[in-house]
Structure 1
C-alpha cells in the first residue's frame, strides 16, 4: 500500500522529531516578534528603535559564528536524540527567564535572553538535518526534508502572527509569558519521544579552538564539490529570503501604502508558497533526491522576482490601502502571485539541496557539515542586510529595483553553481524528459551496489538511454559511449560534463579505443560506477544485438561485479532508429511507458558476454 507524505508524521521515527522542531521554530518566532513589538513600543529611551532592532538581530546571529564549530562536533560525538532532549530542557529554562523579562518589560534582559536563544538554535541546527538520514531511508529523505521545510516556514508564519496578537493592547504580558513557557514545555515533551540516534563519531575529540575548528568543518563541507555547491546554494537561498522579508515591510509601507494587515497577507503568502513548494517538490521528485528541481527552482525565483519589479507599475495608491483596496487594484493579485511563485519555487530549490547533502556527504562528518552550512547561512544573511543598506541607502535604489537586482543576481549565482556541478542541469534535462515524453518504471534498482566500483551493462535502443539511466540510478555513472554518438551536437555538452567516456572501434581509431579502457580502469579504481552498452551501437531493428567482448576485457583487467540491465518501450520513439534515422521525424509519442529492469550482480569470475546478453534479454521480456 502506497503511503503518502504525511504518513511519516504518524511514525515514531519522524513524528516526535518533526513536532519538536516545529514547536521550537514556533516559539522562537513568538518570542522574537513579541520582543520586536516591545522595542517598538518605546519603553527604552536613549537608543532608537532601529538601532535596538539591529542589535537584536546581531545578538541572535552572533552565536552561529562563535559556536557552530563546537555544535557540529557535539552533534557528531553524542547520541542526537539525547542531545535534543537536553537542548529542549535548556529552552524551557531560557523561556522561563524570558517570561520574567516580558512581565517587567526588561528589554536589555530580553536581549540577553535572545542571545541565549540564538545559542540554543546554534546547537540544535546541526542535529536538525543530520538526524533525518539516521531515522529515514534514502527513499524517504525528500519527504522528510519537505515536511521539515513546510513545518519550519509554517511555524515562522504562525509564530510571527501569534507574537503580534499576544502583544496587542489588552492581552497582557502574562499571556506572552505563559505562551513561550508552554510552547517550550510541549517541545521538550515531544523530544522525549524521539528514538535513539547513535553518535556518528563517538571517538571524536572536541577541539575547543573554535576559530581553528571552524576552518576544519568548512573543509569537511568542501571535500565533495557537489556537496559544497549545495551548501553555497542553501546559503544563497537564505540570502534571498532574508533580503525579501527584511524589505517587505518597507515595500508595503512606502510603496504599496498598505496597512499592517496587508503586510501580514504578503508575508503569509510568501511563507505559504515555500510550504506549498516543499509539498509539491516531494510529489514531483517521486520520493527521490531529484536535483533536477533545483535549476527549475532557480528559474522560477528569477522569473517571479523580475515580475515583482514590473508588477509594482500597476499599483497606484494615493492613501493608506487595506487588503480589500489592494486586491481591487489592477496589480494587486499579480504581486500576490509573484510572492507565492517566489515561495513555491524556493521550495523546489531548497528541499533537494538538503536531501542531497544528507545523501552524499560523509555520515561521520554530516553534523559538522550542517554546522558549516549554518555559519555560511549566518554570514550570507548579514551580507543581505549590508546589500540592502548599500543598494537602497547609499545607491538610492527603490525597493522594487532592489528586488529586480536580487532576481538578476540569482541568475548569475545559479549559472556559476551549475557550471561547476553540471549534474544539476543534467538532472533537470532528465527530469523534463521523464515528465513529458516518458513515464519510467523501475524494477530491481536495489541490485546496484550503494558503494564501491561496479560495471553496468544495458541494451542500446535510443540516443537518450544514458540520460534515462542517469536519472534512474542514484549514484553518479560514467557512461562508455560510441564516439559518433558522443560527438553529437548539443548532446556532446551533456556527455562531456557528465564525464562520459568516448570509445571507438579498435580498427578505426585505436588511440580512442585504448584511451577508453585506460579511463575505465581509472574510474573503477576510484570506486565509481561505469556503464557500457556492449552492442556498440544503437539497435536498427529493435532487437538486442550480440554483445562484444570488451566487457570481458574490462573485468579481466579490473575485477568488479557486473550488473545487467534492460530498457524496454523506447523502440519507436523519436530518439530511436525505427522508421529511419533517429531525430529526423517529429515526436509522435508522449507520456510513453518505459521500463528499466535491473538484474542481480554477476561475480567478475563468471562474466561472459554471451551470458550477459541472455540475462539482459530475460530482463527485457520480464512482464
Structure 2
C-alpha cells in the first residue's frame, strides 16, 4: 500500500492538490466575506438577508447545472494541465472583480464574481478527480482521491473561518488583498501541474448546453454500476446539504446555543469527513472497492439517530437565552454531541471517497472527466432538491424530527451501496468505452 500522505511529496500529485486546496479556500473565503458584509453592513432586514443568502447559494451552484457537460468534454479532449492554467489565470481576473465589489460594497459586482467563481469551479471540478488515474499508480488512486476530498473539506472550513474573521476584524480591503494573493499563489501552483494529455483522439465539443448535458448524462448513466455510483454519491451530498440546513436551527432552537457553537458544528463536521477520507484508504489498503460503503452509511445513520435522541432529551435555556461556546463546552453532554457529530462525518467520508475513486477507475480514461461532469450535474440537482424538500418539510416537522428523515436517507444509501457492491465486487468492471 502506498501511504496516501506520502503523495504530498510527489510532483505528480502535490501541484494539483495545492491548486484545488487554494481554489476551495478562495471560493469560500470570498463567498462568506461577501455574505457577512452584505448582511451586517448593507442590509438591515431579516427577510432580505435570508433572500440574499439563498440567492448567493443559487448563483454559485447554477454553473454546475449549466456548464458541467461542456467542462467534462473539454477536459477529456484537451491537456488537463493546460485547462488548469487557463482556469487559474481566470481566477485572478475574478478575484480582482470580487475585490473591487467588496471595497465598493457593490452587490452586482460581488454576485458577478461569485457566479464567475462557480463557473471556474465547474471547469476545474472534473479535472481534480479525472487527472488522478492519469498521474497516479493504480494503488495510489484511492489515497489521492481521499486526500483531495479531505483537503476540500479542510479548505472549506478554513476559507469560511478566514472570510468571517478577516471581514469583521480587518475590513474589506484586507479581505480583497488576501483573495487576490491566494489567486496568484493558486495560479503559480497550477503551472506546476504535470501534462495530462487526452487519452484518445479529441472529439468535437458540443457547446449546446442542453444537448451536451443530456448526452453526457445518457452516456454515463445507462451503465448500471456507474449509475448506482453516481446515485450513491448524490445521496451523500443530499444528506450533507440537509444536515447543513439543519445545523443552525438545531443549535439555536434545540441546543439553545449561539452562532459560534453552530460554527463549531461545521468545523467538527468538516474535520470528520477529512479524517474519514483518509481512514478508508487505510482500511482498503489502496484497493478501489465499494465493500465498506454500505456499512459506512449505516454507521452514519446510526450516529444521526443517536443525535436525534440527544436532541429529543436536551434541556435548553428558557426565554430565548443562549449558551455561549464556553458555557456549552461545560455541559455534561457537550462532548457527547460533538463526538456523535464527528462520527457522522467520519462515516460519511468513509462512504463517499471510495465511490469517487470507483467512478474514475471504471470508465475508459478518455471519458473520466465526463463521468465526473455527469456526477456533478446529478449531485447539484439532488442537493438543490434535498434542500427544497427539507425547507418544505420544516413546515410540518420540528428540526429534531427532520433528523429521522436523514436516518431514512442513510438507510436508502446503504441499500444502494449494497446493490453497487454486489454488482461489482468480483471482478471489478472493465472500463466502459
Q: Give the Å deviation of 1:137.
A: 1.5
Counterpart check, 1:97 vs 2:50: no
Question: How far apart in 1 are the matches of 2:237 and 2:94?
Answer: 26
CA contact (8 A) 2:312 2:400 kept: no
Q: Give the Å deviation of 1:235.
A: 1.1
Question: How far apart in 2 are the matches of 1:23 and 1:229?
Answer: 31
Tell me what 1:380 maps to. Answer: 382
CA contact (8 A) 1:221 1:231 kept: no
Tell me what 2:180 maps to. Answer: 181
Tell me what 1:255 maps to. Answer: 254
CA contact (8 A) 1:30 1:180 kept: yes
Tell me what 1:76 maps to. Answer: 76
CA contact (8 A) 2:290 2:420 kept: no
Tell me what 1:132 maps to. Answer: 132
Question: How far apart in 2 are the matches of 1:153 and 1:131?
Answer: 19
CA contact (8 A) 1:76 1:364 kept: yes
Q: 1 or 2 for the larger relative contact order (CA 8 Å, sep ≥6)? A: 2
Tell me what 1:149 maps to. Answer: 149
Question: How far apart in 1 are the matches of 2:110 and 2:201?
Answer: 36
Q: CA RMSD in A?
A: 1.8
User: Residue 422 of structure 1 aligns to a residue in which SS?
Assistant: helix
CA contact (8 A) 1:296 1:348 kept: no
Question: How far apart in 1 are the matches of 2:257 and 2:107?
Answer: 29
Q: Give the Å deviation of 1:252.
A: 1.3
Correspondence 1:15-34 to 2 at 5 A: 15-34=14-33
Q: Give the Å deviation of 1:201.
A: 4.1
Tell me what 2:113 maps to. Answer: 113
CA contact (8 A) 2:362 2:429 kept: no
Q: Give the Å deviation of 1:245.
A: 1.2
- Distance change >3 Å, CA 188–CA 325, structure 1 → 2: same
CA contact (8 A) 1:134 1:197 kept: yes
Q: Give the Å deviation of 1:236.
A: 1.0
Q: Give the Å deviation of 1:476.
A: 5.7
Question: Structure 2, unaligned stretches of length 5 or more?
Answer: none
Tell me what 2:428 maps to. Answer: 475
Counterpart check, 1:218 vs 2:217: yes
Decide which structure has the larger Cα Rg and report it. Answer: 1
TM-score when normalising by structure 2: 0.94
Question: Structure 1, unaligned stretches of length 5 or more?
Answer: 428-469, 478-526, 528-623
Question: How far apart in 1 are the matches of 2:73 and 2:200?
Answer: 9
- Distance change >3 Å, CA 3–CA 372, structure 1 → 2: closer
Question: How far apart in 2 are the matches of 1:30 and 1:331?
Answer: 32
Tell me what 1:269 maps to. Answer: 268
Tell me what 1:341 maps to. Answer: 343
Question: How far apart in 2 are the matches of 1:307 and 1:153?
Answer: 24
Question: How far apart in 1 are the matches of 2:203 and 2:288?
Answer: 30
Correspondence 1:388-537 to 2 at 5 A: 388-392=390-394, 394-395=395-396, 397-419=397-419, 422-423=422-423, 470=426, 475=428
Higher helix share: 2
Tell me what 1:567 maps to. Answer: none
TM-score when normalising by structure 1: 0.66
Count of matched residue positions in the alignment of Structure 1 and Structure 2: 427
Tell me what 2:312 maps to. Answer: 313
Q: Give the Å deviation of 1:141.
A: 0.8
Q: Deviations over 1:484-504 (max 9, x none)?
A: xxxxxxxxxxxxxxxxxxxxx
Correspondence 1:189-338 to 2 at 5 A: 189-318=188-317, 319-338=321-340
Q: Give the Å deviation of 1:421.
A: 5.3
Q: Give the Å deviation of 1:327.
A: 2.8
Tell me what 1:12 maps to. Answer: 11
CA contact (8 A) 1:243 1:384 kept: yes
Question: How far apart in 1 are the matches of 2:145 and 2:420?
Answer: 25
CA contact (8 A) 1:311 1:335 kept: yes
- Distance change >3 Å, CA 413–CA 146, structure 1 → 2: closer
User: Residue 352 of structure 1 aligns to a residue in which SS?
Assistant: helix
Q: Give the Å deviation of 1:263.
A: 1.4
CA contact (8 A) 2:154 2:274 kept: yes
User: Residue 41 of structure 1 aligns to a residue in which SS?
Assistant: helix
Tell me what 2:165 maps to. Answer: 165
Q: Give the Å deviation of 1:475.
A: 3.1
Q: Deviations over 1:278-322 (max 9, x none)?
A: 111111111111311211211111101111111113421213102
Question: How far apart in 1 are the matches of 2:196 and 2:29?
Answer: 29
User: Residue 204 of structure 1 aligns to a residue in which SS?
Assistant: coil
Higher strand share: 1
CA contact (8 A) 2:293 2:418 kept: no
User: Residue 42 of structure 2 aligns to a residue in which SS?
Assistant: coil
User: Residue 144 of structure 1 aligns to a residue in which SS?
Assistant: helix
Question: How far apart in 2 are the matches of 1:42 and 1:309?
Answer: 36
- Distance change >3 Å, CA 301–CA 88, structure 1 → 2: same
Question: How far apart in 1 are the matches of 2:259 and 2:157?
Answer: 14
User: Residue 24 of structure 2 aligns to a residue in which SS?
Assistant: helix
